[in-house]
Amino acid sequence: MTDPWANAAVAARVTVGADLHLELRGPRLRAGLMDALREAVRTGRLAPGTRLPSSRSLAADLGVARNTVADAYAELVAEGWLTARQGSGTRVARRAAPRARPRQAAPAVAASARVRPRRGALHNLHPGVPDLGSFPRGEWLKAARRALTAAPHDAFGYGDPRGRIELRTVLADYLARARGVHAHPDRIVICSGFVHGLMLMAKVLRARRVRDVAVESYGLDVHWNILADAGLRTTALPLDEQGTRTDALGAQGAVLITPAHQFPLGGALPPERRAAAVDWARRAGALILEDDYDGEFRYDRQPVGALQGLDPERVVYFGTASKSLTPGLRLAWMVLPEALAGEVAEAKGPVDWASGALDQLTLAEFVSSGAYDRHVRSMRLRYRRRRDQLVAALAERAPHIEVSGIAAGLHAVLELPPGTERSVVQAAAWQGLALQGLDGFRNPHVQRTRDGLVVGYGTPTDSAWAGALDALCRVLP
């Protein structure tokens, strides 16, 4: 008689507190079940202490004899994977928790790849992320409690597509005070991160028959792709030692720029180039999309106010909580010219499908209570200290490497000797240090003229920072 289980994989979804998928392979049922259970424990799918189903019900679920399950359980108890006690059934042993894998150096990542660091990286200096260990959990929790307690019933329904009025009101004050933005709550639209705001804006621009949008020669391809996906052509503006040449703006219907702190090169757009951009927008009936992603973090002197202050009817201002708090919140805001506010809100939908009301109310409470200012001030000090330590370490250990750009933000550009970027990024990866080269941020239509690293000194947690800095110094040419 042939064995019906031979060479067959038997899978069953059994209920073990939570659903568990067990796959039995091969003709040896007991061994197959033991392997499947060991694997589930090893990978953490069955947590320590989890109660397993009785041998009778697991046997019924799997369609095998009860003894097969009972024997498998008994052997796994003997091996220490499970425990069995009268009255409390069979459970995953506390000691059987999967051991953390030994850390490995990251395999080489492609030079300049704009990907997240591999899991194995010991140190991460990718730009774009703040110190996630510094998220003010306690203050946020207090603000959330106050916000939830005070929330009107309508906050639990579908909201205004522009976002909660409480948050828009608080932001209008904050942005005027901290960034020199001319803002009115009616002209603010809350969005789910800058990328979402840019998607909305791109949709509106296309509906207005805009075809071309100018961008900077260095930036994030994810942003250029959002514009392209909406059917907009992008042209890269030329760059010189003073920054983006806004005098080269021409027939485009809009320009996307980072005037307070060019991303990633790090310069501030000089006043005459800011003025040239606004003059062009007025002349051409065009729009400036101002990405103020890290305007709160300037260390050398008083922050330059937002470009939007020069002409609120020609500039769309974008701010985000991704750097000042955390990207995980997915909260950002747009301050719009009067003529556009309705169109952008409409592009978002008839109601607010994108941003959760409770997080918006919590952020409103967080800002109005002063907790946001306190957090930004404390992070400013911390990032400033890291930047100073980076500059000092380079002066001592790699004096030929220059840091370009202004003292601001959460990242710095290190200028490398020509032709060395790729090998430095690769060498770093081999040693477990995740780094990104400057070339990964170059617009494909722009010629490569320099080698560099974009070092995200805001990314490591406090305890990891010294090690990351040391690892960086060790891989520099």
Ligand X SMILES: Cc1ncc(COP(=O)(O)O)c(C=O)c1O
**Which residues form the interface with ligand X (CB under 6 A)?**
128, 193-195, 220, 258, 263, 291, 293, 320, 322, 327, 332
CB nearer to ligand X: give 266 or 432: 266
Tokens (6 digits) for 313: 């009817």
At its nearest, how many Å lie between ligand X and the CB of residue 80?
46
Helix axes 357-368, 371-397, angle to 10 degrees: 80
Q: Which amino acid is at 371?
A: A
- 354's CB contacts (< 8 A; 6+ apart) are 191, 192, 196, 348
* Euclidean distance between CA atoms 253 and 306, whole angstroms: 21
At its nearest, how many Å lie between ligand X and the CB of residue 194?
3
CB nearer to ligand X: give 112 or 258: 258
Which 8-state DSSP code applies to residue 408? Answer: B
CB nearer to ligand X: give 92 or 363: 363
* Euclidean distance between CA atoms 369 and 373, whole angstroms: 9
Pairing, β 451-455 against β 412-416: antiparallel
Beta-strand runs (E) in 142-253: 188-191, 212-215, 233-236, 239-240, 243-244
- What sign for the dihedral angle of Cα 190, 260, 336, 202? negative
Residue nearest to ligand X (CB): 193
Nearest CA to 306 out of 182, 177, 407, 180 is that of 180
CB nearer to ligand X: give 37 or 315: 315
Beta-strand runs (E) in 25-153: 82-85, 89-92, 123-124
At its nearest, how many Å lie between ligand X and the CB of residue 435?
16
CB nearer to ligand X: give 293 or 297: 293
* Euclidean distance between CA atoms 170 and 174, whole angstroms: 6
CB nearer to ligand X: give 332 or 354: 332
CB nearer to ligand X: give 193 or 243: 193
At its nearest, how many Å lie between ligand X and the CB of residue 72?
49
Tell me how far the alpha carbon of residue 60 is from its chain's centroid: 46
At its nearest, how many Å lie between ligand X and the CB of residue 327?
4
At its nearest, how many Å lie between ligand X and the CB of residue 216?
10
* Euclidean distance between CA atoms 162 and 357, whole angstroms: 11
At its nearest, how many Å lie between ligand X and the CB of residue 16?
38
